[in-house]
Structure 1
């Protein structure tokens, strides 16, 4: 299933919709302004919070947490040694690790588990500027989690670029 993200409104405090292949609103990304740390909520169309993304305050490397309800679901960090490509590791609470690699800032990357493709993020399917797709390839992959990971690593990569 493909989800369409219009990228130009990625700023703290901005809200934007993510649509499914049929053009229906599937998820709302709600940026929380005026918070001590960077926080985003991924909501369903009726406004229920599915996933919360938070920047960790005290960590040596940029780290964001993924929460579902009151429980932490995952931690996202940039891998230390990644010379040619952006590379992030998503560690789920039960120990499973997802690998995110590719050209994050160009919106051309993949999310994999143990070498198997879960989602492909790409701008190549669209001619519209600042638009990309999150194509959830595996049927048993959680679309909300895949979208949250994509939004999170893009935000982290953009922040790192801006800090340099």
Structure 2
């Protein structure tokens, strides 16, 4: 499954559609305005909330939490003690861990589980500026979760980058 995301700075209040490779709207990213922390909802075409993404308050390191039906599903944070600056760890509540690494700001990175590719995020498939793709490689993978992870790592990396610059 290949999904097209029109790149934007993920700001509070931003809403935009994610399309499939045929141009059909598949998911809506709904940025919630008037919140103290970053909050996004990933919805299906009927408006049903699939996952909620929140910036975690009072964390030692920047952290985002992905929830499903009000319950925590995963926590996303930059990996400690990594030589790679753009390396993130996703800890699912069931104990599973996903690794995200690559050039996040360039939208060229991979999401893996135990060395196996789950999703590839890339701009190289598109000629349209400010567009990138998320290709979910495994059929049994959860596309909503992988999109939420993508949103989180991009947001965390952009936040880090803006502090430095």
Normalised to the residue count of structure 2, the TM-score between the two structures is 0.97
How far 1:80 sits from its partner (Å)? 1.7
Return the alpha-carbon distance in structure 2 between the equivalents of residues 80 and 38 of structure 1. Answer: 23
What RMSD in Å do the two structures reach over aligned CA positions?
Answer: 0.9
The offset of 1:83, in angstroms, is 2.7
Q: Which segments of structure 1 move beyond 2 Å, counting only runs of 4 or more?
A: 81-85
1:128 equivalent in alignment to 2:128: yes
3-state SS in 2 of match to 1:106: coil
Q: Deviations over 1:33-87 (max 9, x none)?
A: 1101110000001111000000010110000000000210000010122334400
**2:109: which partner in 1?**
109
Correspondence list, 1:117-156, <5 A: 117-156=117-156
Counterpart CA distance in 1 for 2:19 and 2:39 is: 21
Unaligned residue ranges in structure 2 (runs of 5+): none
Matches of 1:39 and 1:9 in 2, distance apart? Answer: 14
Q: Offset at 1:27?
A: 0.3
Give the TM-score taking structure 1 as reference length. Answer: 0.97
Q: Does 1:24 align with 2:24?
A: yes
Q: Which residue of 1 aligns with 2:69?
A: 69
